[in-house]
């Protein structure tokens, strides 16, 4: 199962599985284990509510240094341009979209040849990159 990330209301990134209950988005840490709930049943501990607009699925790829996992909404940089990682639902693939000229796009495999510089949610990083 691919993992997700999301931003909490206090600005912290959390990583794990995505669960949506009654329209509320949670990231569940699968390593938190099981917990007994007040209703007498059991469920996962570690449910953390996140901002829906910040949720991003892992691409399963890493940047050119092989260290940074890449998620939807990440900003990638080559020598000249900055790109956003986007899911192309029409073609069922990850693509890179130029942050200045959206018509310029690359297939997702180019991710592994670039450096991750932040996310679209990091206002300072995003504004500095364009």
Tell me the domains of the chain and their CATH numbers. Answer: 4-52 (no CATH), 57-129 (2.30.30.290)
The reported pLDDT for the residue numbered 35 is 47
More confident residue, 38 or 103: 103
Q: What percent of the chain has pLDDT over 70?
A: 81
Q: Are 16 and 47 in contact (CB under 8 A)?
A: no
The reported pLDDT for the residue numbered 114 is 92
Query: Which residue carries 């069922």 as its tokens?
Result: 92
Residue 51 pLDDT grade (very low, low, confident, very high; cuts 50, 70, 90): very high
Q: Are 42 and 31 in contact (CB under 8 A)?
A: no
pLDDT of residue 126 exceeding 50, the answer is: no
Determine the Cα–Cα distance for residues 118 and 102; give it in Å rounded to an integer: 18
- pTM listed for this prediction: 0.81
| Mean pLDDT of the region 20-48 | 69
- The residue ranges of DSSP E strands in the chain, in sequence order, are 4-7, 13-21, 24-28, 34-36, 42-44, 47-49, 56-62, 69-71, 74-77, 82-88, 93-98, 105-107, 115-119
Q: What is the DSSP letter of 126?
A: H
Residue 55 pLDDT grade (very low, low, confident, very high; cuts 50, 70, 90): very high
The reported pLDDT for the residue numbered 130 is 45
């Amino acid at each position: 199962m691919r993992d997700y990330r999301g931003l909490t209301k206090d600005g912290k990134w959390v990583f794990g599985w995505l669960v949506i209950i009654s329209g509320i988005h949670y990231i569940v840490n699968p390593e938190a284990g099981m917990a007994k709930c007040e209703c007498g049943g059991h469920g996962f501990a570690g449910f953390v509510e996140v901002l829906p607009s910040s949720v991003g699925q892992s691409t399963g790829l890493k940047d050119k240094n092989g260290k940074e996992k890449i998620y939807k909404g990440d900003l990638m940089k080559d020598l000249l341009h900055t790109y956003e990682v986007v899911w192309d639902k029409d073609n069922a693939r990850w693509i890179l979209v130029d942050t200045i000229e959206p018509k310029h796009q690359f297939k997702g495999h180019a991710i592994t040849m670039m450096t991750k510089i932040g996310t679209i949610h990091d206002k300072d990083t995003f504004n500095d990159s364009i």
